[in-house]
Amino acid sequence: PPPEAPQALERSERVAFGALLATGLFLPLFPALKNLGMGVAVIAWLINLFATRRGPPRLTITLPLLCWLAISALSMVHSIAWAQSIRGLVKIANVALIAFVAADLLRTKRRLVALLIAVSIGAAIASVDGLLQVWWGVDPLRHHMAGNAPGGMRRLTATFGHANDFGVY
């Protein structure tokens, strides 16, 4: 290969890792940016994977993910809502791809720490957004209204569409 080939491969891996960091940072804040980050991470990782002619990392979770995908595909025979079923399959495929990308790119402690910092910053921003939602009744980032829980307590959504999503995050 030409001398610039290793640099291009290294660059595609850096792009994939940067996009993975952006995904972790924007996960609780802006779904469109999170999805864009995931897409860029997967595409850059696939480019690097095919260019280096190596296979995806061998994960313990590979077989369960493939079984989950296969069972879900087989269950579509009984589906009454094909569009929903296909969306579900796409979600499963996304989970599998992100698991492979993360397993391959998070090979060093430095990268793992960087991702944890990005996710923590995103969580901190979402938490501050939730606190501001308590005071103002609406979150400043996505303008979601705070709901009411039994006993008059505010039910926070922060940047999420539903309070349960925020709670799980």
Nearest to 126 by CA among 113, 144, 111, 150: 144
Q: Which residue, among 44, 134, 151, 141, has the nearest Cα to 98 in the 3D structure? A: 44
pLDDT, residue 9, reads: 63
Question: pLDDT confidence of 62, banded at 50, 70, 90?
Answer: confident
Please report the DSSP string for 52-80 in residue order. Answer: HT-PPP--TTHHHHHHHHHHHHHHGGG-S
- Residues 133-158: pLDDT tens digits? 888 888 888 888 887 777 777 788 88
Assess whether pLDDT exceeds 90 at residue 93.
Answer: no
State yes or no: pLDDT of 92 exceeds 90.
no
pLDDT tens per residue, range 80-90: 888 888 888 88
Spatial distance between the Cα atoms of 146 and 133, rounded to a whole number of angstroms: 6
Indicate whether 27 pLDDT > 80.
yes
The HSE-up count of residue 45 (CA atoms within 13 Å, CB side) is 24
In the block, tokens 């595609």 appear at: 12
Rounded Cα distance, 120 and 113, in Å: 10
Q: How far apart are CA 143 and CA 104, in angstroms?
A: 37
- C-alpha closest to that of 111 among 8, 24, 51, 4: 24
55-64, 89-98, 136-145: range with lowest mean pLDDT: 55-64
pLDDT at 5 over 60: no
